[in-house]
Amino acid sequence: MIHHVLLDADGVVQRLPGGWAAAVAPYLGERAGEFLTALGMDEQPCLRGAGDFRAVLADHLERYAVDAPVDEVYPAVWLDVEVAASSRALVHALREVGVGVHLATNQEAGRAAYMRGDLGYDELFDESFYSCDLGAAKPEPAFFTRALDRLAAAAPEVLFVDDHEPNVVAAREVGLAAERWHLDDGLPALHALVERHGLVL
């Protein structure tokens, strides 16, 4: 029986208008994809709570000869987040059927702090599991086992929803119930997925 639901952030609860490539395109142009790939590799320690992401970003902006300072680019891209009203409604609907609803997301410390406070996630969710706090990032098994430890829950009691298939597969390997879903799939599709696990909204 499911007692807890873990929801991913980007793509499930929130989105960047137009996506990551479109967000950095004003600064990088056609090199946006290349920039994001390189940055994604070097940000990995930051996602696990080690290192300063702004410093990593500043270094990459310098490498790509971007004139705009990091203090402009970081909020314009990483903090330009739209929280889906449908996802807020989903959180409340899940809670009404008696389950705990929690956030489970890979984030560096600065963006995590913004999500906690400015986006109100500390109030919206019962618990929030940020990779930078757990010291492990999805799809690493340790991300899920540490979240389970904090919930004091057995893996089969937890349903995990994420838009990236590798994360879903990893969660299932740890023993969680897990489903892949993206905001673009629509809320009725997510309702159908959670109903498979006995949660009728």
Q: Encode 164-199 in three state secondary structure.
A: CHHHHHHHHHHCCEEEECCHHHCHHHHHHHHHCCCC
**Cβ distance 127 to 100 under 8 Å?**
yes
Task: Give the pLDDT confidence score for residue 71 in this predicted structure.
Answer: 98
Residue 9 pLDDT class (50, 70, 90 cuts): very high
Domain boundaries for CATH 3.40.50.1000 within the chain: 4-15+82-195
pTM for this model (two decimals): 0.96
pLDDT digits (tens, 9 = 90+) for 120-171: 999 999 999 999 999 999 999 999 999 999 999 999 999 999 999 999 999 9
Task: Give the pLDDT confidence score for residue 62 in this predicted structure.
Answer: 98
Superfamily per CATH, domain 4-15+82-195: HAD superfamily/HAD-like (3.40.50.1000)
Q: What is the mean pLDDT of residues 160-184?
A: 98
